């Protein structure tokens, strides 16, 4: 293992504060685990409404960092012989009904966890209609016969929340208890993750950060998002509330456990990277960097593992534009502690007009237009409330024949690609061009 320098805590603290100031982010906590020791720094406030400062143990919604938790639970149950990641999930759930009969009979738990199910990412209906009781997941899965099937299982990677809800239901069935209880019994409680739990009643835990959204796109002024509204049936994909120290405890388990290392084996290609079982996989200087980010309700988060160096990084923000801070802090940590740096993308020449069009997925519309040699992508996201969200457009530069990257600004590092005629993966979700 390479020699790992001590984490320069003063540099991390200064960087965190400067990025908060740069983007107008209300609060953030960042931590680096190296050589078994964790350095955690906090800056800003938990809520602009109260001015309460964040500290190293402030709980945040971690959103889709929940997904590695779900994958970990599946692996632990598989180790006990209660699940088979590579068998059709219908063996565990014989009452499962999907719109596509072949997918219903063949889709596996690993395909669900690796975003290879081919299912639509979101259902057409408002999930708040489902109960908040112990049967919420089963009630949701009972509607899957109306869920769109974009591609056959295993054909193409496309980020998929519905796959994680189905996986969570299989986990709960195998263990004979609710998904939340499985997570506490097998993972959160044994690891001492006392600051972590699942919120689905809309009430933030005591002392937790609140989410914030920019008052205008790209503007530093923020408004508070009240409460933690979140349907219980969504919990396996993004319902965890946690702290940086707790996420580093989870990371330590993954760094130490040979049984969990297989979750980082590559399963498929994704958007400019690879994907394992619950983790995205990036190769930097021949070193695997596993990660998962989260984005929901005015929070942006990320957890990163560098197994070869036994290093982990966790960054939590309470801003809808926090991804800019997250990326900068993670890149700093990889360089300062692991001497790993992402290479700058090299633009290539393609005809951008070939990709123009309007692309649709459930709850998502993406308009792609040529802008000189670049592509301008504008998205509209329909929220569960029925309202539409229109984030600032992305201006992508071709870095391969079918992949575009944002090279500067708040969205630096964002990528989208075109995995076949009439298809775009935008925000990691597959959408189909109108008329294709």
The owner of tokens 């005629």 is: 421
Which SS3 state, helix, strand or coil, does residue 276 take? coil
The answer to whether the beta carbons of residues 380 and 365 sit under 8 Å apart is yes
Q: Please, which residues have CB within 8 angstroms of residue 375's CB and are 6 or more apart in sequence?
A: 352, 355, 368, 369, 395, 396, 398, 404
The predicted structure's pLDDT at residue 216:
85
Rounded distance between C-alpha atoms, residue 129 and residue 207, angstroms:
29
Q: Answer positive or negative: Cα dihedral of 50, 53, 59, 64.
A: positive
Residue 47 has pLDDT above 70, yes or no: yes
Separation of first and last alpha carbons in the chain:
50
Ranges 86-95, 346-355, 387-396: which has the least confidence:
387-396
**Which helix (H) or strand (E) covers residue 376, if one does?**
strand 374-382
Ordered by where they begin, the domains of the chain are 1-343 (3.40.710.10), 352-433 (2.40.128)
Per-residue tokens: 296: 């929901």
Confidence tier at 217 by pLDDT (50, 70, 90): confident
**pLDDT, mean of residues 58-85:** 98
Task: Please count the other Cβ atoms lying within 10 Å of the Cβ belonging to residue 377.
Answer: 23
Which pair of structure tokens corresponds to residue 424?
């775009």
The predicted structure's pLDDT at residue 201: 79
If you search the block for the tokens 């935008």, which residue do you land on? 426
Largest CA distance in the chain: 57
| Across 393-419, average pLDDT | 95
| pLDDT higher than threshold 90 for residue 158 | yes
385 pLDDT more than 70: no
User: What's the Rg (C-alpha) of the chain?
Assistant: 21
Give the per-residue pLDDT at 386. 60
pLDDT at 382 over 90: no
pLDDT at 149 over 70: yes
Confidence grade of residue 170 (pLDDT, cut at 50, 70, 90): very high
| φ, ψ of residue 247 in degrees (nearest 5) | -65, -35
Lowest model confidence (mean pLDDT) among 50-54, 125-129, 149-153, 332-336 = 125-129
pTM: predicted TM-score of the whole model, two decimal places: 0.96
DSSP 149: B
Q: In what order do the strands lie in the sheet with 197-198?
A: 60-63, 240-242, 197-198
Does position 193 have pLDDT exceeding 80, yes or no?
A: yes
CA distance 415 to 405: 4
C-alpha 42/C-alpha 9 separation (Å) is 11
- Asked if residue 39 lies in contact with residue 9, where contact means CB atoms within 8 angstroms, the answer is yes
Mean model confidence pLDDT for the chain: 95
Torsion sign (Cα): 417, 422, 426, 428: negative
Q: What is the C-alpha separation between 328 and 22, in angstroms, rounded?
A: 12
């Amino acid at each position: 293992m390479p020699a790992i320098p001590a984490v320069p805590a003063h540099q991390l603290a200064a960087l965190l504060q400067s990025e908060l100031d740069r983007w107008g982010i209300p609060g953030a906590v960042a931590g680096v685990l190296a050589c078994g020791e964790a350095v955690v720094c906090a800056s800003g406030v938990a809520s602009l409404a109260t001015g309460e400062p964040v500290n190293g143990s402030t709980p945040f919604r971690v959103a889709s960092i929940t997904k590695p938790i779900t994958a970990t639970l599946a692996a632990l149950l598989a180790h006990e012989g209660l699940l088979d990641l590579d068998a059709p999930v219908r063996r565990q759930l014989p009452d499962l009904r999907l719109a596509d009969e072949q997918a219903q009979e063949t889709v596996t738990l690993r395909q669900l966890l690796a975003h290879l199910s081919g299912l639509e990412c979101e259902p057409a209906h408002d999930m708040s209609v489902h109960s908040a009781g112990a049967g919420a997941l089963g009630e949701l899965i009972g509607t899957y016969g109306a869920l769109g099937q974009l591609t056959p299982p295993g054909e193409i990677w496309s980020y998929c929340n519905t796959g994680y809800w189905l996986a969570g239901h299989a986990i709960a069935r195998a263990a004979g208890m609710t998904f939340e209880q499985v997570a506490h019994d097998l993972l959160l409680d044994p690891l001492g993750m006392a600051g972590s739990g699942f919120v689905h009643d809309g009430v933030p835990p005591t002392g937790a950060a609140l989410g914030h959204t920019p008052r205008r796109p790209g503007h530093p002024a923020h408004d508070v998002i009240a409460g933690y509204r979140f349907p219980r049936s969504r919990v396996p994909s993004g319902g965890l509330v946690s702290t940086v120290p707790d996420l580093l405890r989870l990371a330590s388990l993954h760094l130490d456990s040979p049984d969990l290392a297989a979750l980082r084996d590559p399963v498929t290609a994704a958007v400019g990277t690879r994907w394992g079982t619950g983790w995205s996989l990036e190769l930097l200087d021949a070193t695997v960097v596993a990660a998962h980010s989260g984005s929901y309700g005015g929070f942006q988060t990320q957890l990163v593992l560098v197994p070869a160096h036994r290093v982990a990084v966790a960054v939590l923000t309470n801003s809808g534009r926090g991804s800019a801070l997250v990326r900068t802090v993670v890149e700093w940590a990889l360089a300062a502690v692991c001497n790993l740096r992402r290479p700058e993308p090299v633009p290539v020449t393609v005809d951008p007009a070939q990709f123009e069009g309007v692309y649709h997925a459930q709850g998502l519309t993406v308009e792609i237009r040529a802008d000189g040699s670049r592509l301008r992508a504008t998205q509209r996201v329909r929220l569960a409330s029925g309202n539409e969200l229109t984030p600032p457009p992305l201006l992508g530069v071709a870095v391969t024949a079918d992949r575009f990257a944002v090279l500067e600004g708040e969205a630096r590092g964002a990528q989208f690609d075109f995995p076949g005629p009439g298809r775009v993966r935008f925000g990691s979700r597959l959408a189909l061009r109108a008329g294709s």
